[in-house]
Amino acid sequence: MTTDANGQSVPVLANKAWVLMDFNTGQILASSNPDEPLPPASLTKMMTSYLVEQALKNGKVKPTDPVTMSLNAWCRGGKDGDSCMFVPLNAQASLMDMLRGVVIASGNDASKALAEHIGGSEAGFVAMMNAEAKKLGMSKTQFANSAGLPDPNNKASARDLAVLAAAIIRNSGEYYPIYAEREFSYNGIKQGNRNALLYTDSTVDGLKTGHTEEAGYCLTASANRNGMRLISVIMNADSKQARADQTRVLFNWGYANFEAATPAQPGATLTSAKVTYGVAPTVNAGLAQPWSLVVPKGQAAAVKTAVTLNPALEAPIAKGAVIGKIVATANGKQLGEANLVALADVERAGFFERLRQRVAGWFSK
């Protein structure tokens, strides 16, 4: 352990980069070299699987679509150490089997075949991968292939991979349970999920391992305990055991030192704002969306809130319009803020009512 700038004791891990992130807030609880672009090995396949899942979700492809194993995608396996689903050359497998071949068996062949099926070519699919990375804000990431094979232009940061993992969990919920499946059988060949934590920690339900000589041993994982989900990324550990052990350390440390806090509930009236020239003189304000924070253990009860309203609110005001903000603090330290919105419509008053309000305003000054 070491101590960070806030006086918090944080783990020291033997790897090149790591991140521990809270899923709900995106808050980085602790990290080391989080923004250094590094070879991600098969963690690259998270973007491949994510794009396939989104294509399924959007109806662009179907689970039963036949996907062909081309010569370019075909995986020979053997002594070169390729991770393979082992679909025969020119044979076809269903798109859903191929997706499991990527997520569970980490098949380079399945990744390339799906890339060709959805992108027209692997190069076309890689362009889609990089466009999606940009959309997600993965600013330190550049993909060069769909499988994570060694390439000097295939790089990702630990923070970016945590963001990608969060996108999978949030946006691919129907397919996320695949990441927790412990084994996959195809063509008479059974392969186990390489994420060792799935066998030892019932709170862990994903996501992906990776390994090449250059990248070392990598693991992106997620755990959900007591309604709080954390995401960890380990890059360039020395062994399979090390990446699993380091992930356990991060999860245990995170859950021991932090807890979730909900400063206010969405839809509840937090304050009332004065409105001029409206059919109603005030409008209730509150949160439109759930709001949660991650705070040091034991501080959830100490969280306080303060609201600030925008000045000179004038009708018409639409329900959901931002009219202020709410700030959460604990022990004098700001923890976060959220928008306050109007909880109802306020229509603009007619001419004579507006005139009455204006005259009344003159006499009140």
Percentage of residues in the chain having pLDDT higher than 70: 97
**pLDDT by residue (tens digit) across 304-333?**
999 999 998 999 999 999 999 999 998 888
Omega prior to 63 cis, within 30 of 0: no
User: How many other CB atoms are found less than 10 A from the CB of residue 137?
Assistant: 12
Model confidence at 5, pLDDT cuts 50, 70, 90, reads low
- Mean pLDDT over each residue of the chain, to the nearest integer: 94
Residue 82, Cβ density class (10 Å: 0-12 exposed, 13-18 middle, ≥19 buried): middle
If one compares 129 and 333, the residue with the highest pLDDT of the two is 129
Dist. CA 65–CA 196, nearest whole Å: 31
Dist. CA 194–CA 163, nearest whole Å: 21
**pLDDT by residue (tens digit) across 144-196?**
999 999 999 999 999 999 999 999 999 999 999 999 999 999 999 999 999 99
190: annotated active-site residue = no
Name the E strands within the chain. Answer: 2-3, 9-10, 17-22, 28-32, 66-68, 92-94, 183-186, 189-192, 204-212, 216-225, 228-237, 258-261, 271-274, 282-286, 293-296, 304-309, 322-330, 333-342
* AA letter at 268: A
Query: Which of 324, 329, 336, 339 is CA-nearest to residue 266?
Result: 339
Query: Which member of 16, 45, 155, 208 is catalytic?
Result: 45
Query: Which member of 106, 111, 172, 222 is catalytic?
Result: 106
Mean pLDDT throughout 267-287?
Answer: 94
- What number of CA atoms fall less than 13 Å from residue 161's CA on the CB side? 39
Query: What is the layout of strands, in order, in the sheet containing 204-212?
Result: 28-32, 17-22, 228-237, 216-225, 204-212
Model confidence at 2, pLDDT cuts 50, 70, 90, reads confident
Mean pLDDT throughout 95-108?
Answer: 97
Residue 47, Cβ density class (10 Å: 0-12 exposed, 13-18 middle, ≥19 buried): buried
Select, from the ranges 47-56, 74-83, 351-360, the one with the highest average predicted confidence (pLDDT): 47-56
pLDDT at 345: 96
pLDDT at 119: 98
Distances (CA, A) of 178 to 96, 106, 172, 278, 295: 10, 12, 10, 53, 31
pLDDT at 6: 65
If one compares 140 and 187, the residue with the highest pLDDT of the two is 140
106: annotated active-site residue = yes
Please provide residue 242's backbone torsions phi and psi, each rounded to the nearest 5 degrees: -65, -45
42: annotated active-site residue = yes
Indicate whether 80 pLDDT > 60.
Answer: no
Query: Which member of 42, 49, 157, 172 is catalytic?
Result: 42
Indicate whether 8 pLDDT > 80.
Answer: no
